[in-house]
Structure 1
């Protein structure tokens, strides 16, 4: 009888536990982060009735860990796409992009060339030049604003990671303290809450977990340090770069009073996506800056190679402000400016100068954290103006650099939103050529001479003229090629202003590009007088037609050549010139199209990967929900079954009581 009472009592208690677990599952069917619980009744090996009852969460460990990886992938591609999509839309739109504006600019140059003395055409060109400048500024500012927004999201993500790490550590501590009763509702609830935080963390950074025997859980970066330990948690920080403070580096520490250890920004999740989006935005900024410099500098140089409507030497159309070079040096500073005429050498890369202990400095091309040394020099030479024509810029050094100093040069990062117009009057477009050529009226042949174009009027050219000064005050240098005479063999002899023979161009050239083909020794084809006529003397000419012995041709300054548009045509031809440096040099429009295409391709790949990652995560979620999720049909069925078992166990108790009463009556 006592055995029946004991058996019935243990059965009632066991079924009550099962009913409580099932009821809890049903009530939490819509609770976020809740894992289905299961109570298991052990066999009583020592006596009759039920044994120990344990309640635990139903977890598919493999699926849960796979879900963390899937969350990180989805978070990464979501953040990367989010950081780039708005810029891609702006760059590719005809209403906000650059290519339509470039086309309009060159169309207006062509229109002005058709009537070089008419102010109406020049005014139209003035308006399109302003539109081009404003559009470049607008695009540059939008990219910069998106970069700043992206950086803000990096900071917000890091702050959220730190909050989650601290909360996970606190839950771990509470779980360990409650581990004496692993079946308690509080214990199981804390595990659910902790795992829910871990799942949220996995969306921000790629992590993996290691379960501990005491119920706690260590959290590691997928490719890095442990973030949550048994005795504490790490703190992450987005730290400004030591030179460019707008660029963040990721660091961590276990003690806020100690220094941070730097991490790779390849951390996965949303945080990794924001870092990669920032890198892509910077790359777009540099590419836009590179093509802007190439076009603006070429237009500047060409306008300075012509004569304005007021008979003045042309000046630059655009201003390039000096750029501050980033440094922490306390003994020296630098500024950077572009070298006029060398914009085609601008690469769009960043550069780092490092001062070495042996009295030398190294100029390195910087690609992320990778440095490629370009050349070395003596530190003592780092004073005054340092020209680097091979890279298209020069440095102005103030002070004396010290050992260990570093100088970060970003030639094209800020060009687009700092470009401004220098020209302010339509009369200042220099469409007329600086020089003109003519044939001697006594020539026996019918050949004519034409200027191929003026390409340089600065100190290395054959001219003595200052921008915006009257052409009447200019003159040729003494060694300038100004006359051509045909000799008895049909060769072209070129003379300077003092009638000194400069060189001879062979008749076999048929008069094409006389100065480019001019030799100091007609028997030596390698004895060219000018290595680069585009720079010195800064112009060239060709003679076409039949020449006779003694025919002569002259070159002179184009004073009062208002109706001439030959320099304007050279400006117009820049639209198809391969101005932008690259593996294969490109036109400005082609370079812009490639930039937009590359960004679009990056986003398209990211979107495809996002779809795949989302599908994979959904599949993993289905697996986890099948094991950890609450199935109402199953729980309702269990509820009925456990209720019946409870009632049956209660009847055992009632039966034992009836037997006891009958027995007492019989003895009574």
Structure 2
């Protein structure tokens, strides 16, 4: 079903990204055209749908993986119960026969162990009474003679959408997910941790990347209604999870500060007591020390593009889990419904005015570039609704032409120095309090020449902001993570890294599987050729290689389908 859904040409993410940017360019070519804007609105909605569709494949795969883990633990328990009964029967048979081996029961036990080894990594320890103790994971005693522990699954504390493996014996229940390896369940856990979770995180990173960058530029523009732009896409929300064992009532919230610094990783925040916390990046173990200084609520500086707000002093050992990008591809939505709301125009424009002294158009060769804004503070311009720059050789009016520059009326007022004798090739200026606007003055103005920066009223034909949004496609805006190394990437390259990473892991799993398959076959042949000797060593080897084979096969089973899905998506 997954292959069929993702093979559909309507699913691919890369084509949807390309179609979105193509439509943005079409609008830039004819910004006053409502039909071209309607196409962009449609492609924006299609892009959102693609994120949802692809994220749903990850979600469905996780649900299916959870079910498989539950089914496998049930099978492990059934086999363990049978091993306990067979152990008891072997001990009783040896005692009744005076020490003779009950071969049928021994064969039955070996078959059960072979079945168990398909599902989980295990070790066996023969006992003097003829029974075998069976250990799984990293020393968990599943079968001790006729006494049997159990395994099961339950929702993870860090992420309720996935399952942890729980081991229960006479000492109680505990999580052993990180200690499980080999066999089908080890393969599922490896796939989830190495492919599924990083892949969904990377998909979310791409969703955040395009949403936040496009939104940021859209907010700096003017729409066809003559008002400043509003968000095209929704912004993601991050909901940290408190560990169920926390003893304090402290809560943690998180928000995205800079999408360009985000990683495709989860994080754990742990209280060190008092004012101290440690944030651990889970994909590579890097830690960040946090000292709140005792002031609450406390908001951290940006860490990997995220800020955390801690409500109070947590108890030593309290933990919180943060997944900045995991749900972003699911959360992204379209926020505008009217094609006129796309902010294709810039909010300000420059025009030459009449010379203050002659009443004619500017006489000199001076020029002022169109201003570029970085925020919308004090925009649109009001009271007055324009800023006038008038060039004077004696800008301070002291009667000496030794301080050339512009008198500024409106906006920040005052004067700015500009000497054509040394700066005619271009000098940059900033009015920080007015949209952070920057502009360049060049050439040689004549005395009294004026330039006016004004609101871009009736700017239907202006495409400057649309061009800026279209240019985002080619800009390095994200940290695309592959093999634990962060590298600057475009939005589409960041998605390509997801595809290549899944492909690399799939190829490695196939190599491991082929190697394990060969060893397994060789030892099966060796075992079948031996007669009348102690088979314990050969059986143990057989079990070991069977575990490796099953684990690799399980990774291939799920990773290969995901790789084919994603590869097909970017080729459409």
TM-score band (shorter)? 0.7 to 0.9
The structure 2 residue matched to 1:260, chosen from 150, 174, 178, is 174
Q: Provide the TM-score with structure 1 as the length reference.
A: 0.68
Q: Give 1:454's aligned residue.
A: 373
Distance 1:276 1:236 in 2: 18
Once the two structures are TM-superposed, the CA of residue 628 in structure 1 deviates from its matched residue by 5.8
Tell me if the contact between 1:94 and 1:100 (Cα under 8 Å) persists in the aligned partners: no
**SS at 1:354's partner residue?**
strand
Structure 1: how far apart are the matches of 2:60 and 2:52?
A: 12
The separation in 1 between residues aligned to 2:98 and 2:148, in whole angstroms, is 27
SS of 1:584 mapped into structure 2: strand
| Residues 259-268 or 112-121, more deviating | 259-268
2:324 to 401, 407, 411: 411
Q: Which residue is 2:264 aligned to?
A: 348
TM-score, L = length of structure 2: 0.79
Equivalence for 1:555: 453
Residue matched to 2:249: 331
1:579 aligns with 2:477: yes
Aligned-pair distance for 1:353?
A: 3.1
Shift of 1:587: 0.7
Indicate whether 1:623 and 2:536 are aligned.
no
Alignment partners' CA distance in 1, 2:342 and 2:308: 30
Equivalent position of 2:281 in the other structure: 366
> Aligned partners of 1:267 and 1:506: how far apart in 2?
74
Cα RMSD, aligned residues only: 3.6
Q: Name the CA shift for 1:444/1:240 in 2 (closer, same or farther; >3 Å).
A: same
1:441 positional shift: 4.6
Between the aligned partners of 1:325 and 1:209, the Cα distance in structure 2 is: 41
Matched, 1:497 2:435: no
Alignment of 1:460-499 (within 5 A): 461=377, 463-464=378-379, 474-475=381-382, 483=389, 485=391, 495=408, 497-499=411-413
**Which residue pairs with 1:218 in the alignment?**
133
1:613 aligned onto 2:512: no
Assess, with a 3 A threshold, how the Cα gap between structure 1 residues 379 and 182 changes in structure 2: closer, same or farther: farther
Give the whole-Å Cα distance in 1 for the aligned partners of 2:288 and 2:516.
39
Deviation at 1:380, TM superposition (A): 3.5
Q: Is the 8 A contact 2:271 2:318 kept in 1?
A: yes
> How far apart, CA to CA, are the structure 1 residues paired with 2:57 and 2:472?
27
Unpaired runs of 5+ in structure 1?
1-84, 465-470, 519-529, 630-668
CA distance in structure 1 between the aligned counterparts of 2:86 and 2:31, rounded to whole angstroms: 79
User: Measured at CA, do residues 181 and 623 of structure 1 come closer, stay the same or move farther in structure 2, by a change above 3 Å?
Assistant: farther
Question: Do the aligned residues in 1 keep the contact of 2:122 with 2:136 (CA within 8 Å)?
Answer: yes
1:270 to 176, 184, 190: 184
1:445 equivalenced with 2:364 (yes/no): yes
Q: Mark the CA change 1:498 to 1:157 in structure 2 (over 3 Å): closer, same or farther.
A: closer
Change (3 A) 1:588 1:261: closer
* Cα deviation digits, residues 461-506 of structure 1 (max 9, x gap): 3x24xxxxxx5xx53899x986474867998768462531367699
1:542 and 2:456 correspond: no
Contact map agreement 1:165 1:228 (CA 8 A) in 2? yes
Does the C-alpha gap of structure 1 residues 426 and 152 become closer, same or farther in structure 2, counting only changes over 3 Å?
Answer: same
Matched with 2:507 is: 604
The verdict on how the C-alpha distance between 1:188 and 1:450 changes in structure 2, with shifts beyond 3 A counting, is same
Question: In 2 relative to 1, CA 363–476 (structure 1 residues): closer, same or farther, beyond 3 Å?
Answer: farther
| Alignment partner, residue 18 of structure 2 | 103
Greater C-alpha Rg? 1
Which stretch shows the higher mean deviation, 506-515 or 538-547? 506-515
Deviation at 1:377, TM superposition (A): 1.3
Task: For 1:309 and 1:570, locate their aligned partners in 2 and report how far apart those are by CA, in whole Å.
Answer: 17
- Work out which of the residue numbers 310, 313, 320 in structure 1 matches 2:235: 320
**Secondary structure, aligned partner of 1:446:** coil
Instruction: Provide Cα deviations, 1:64-84, integer angstroms capped at 9, x if missing partner.
Output: xxxxxxxxxxxxxxxxxxxxx
Query: Separation in 1 of the partners of 2:523 and 2:67?
Result: 31
Distance 1:182 1:552 in 2: 114
Residues 624/365 of structure 1: CA separation in 2 closer, same or farther (3 Å cut) = same
Q: Does 1:229 find its partner at 2:144? A: yes
Residues 200 and 392 of structure 1: CA distance in aligned 2, closer, same or farther (over 3 Å): same
Please, which runs of 5 or more residues in structure 2 have no aligned partner? 356-361, 394-400, 481-485, 533-572
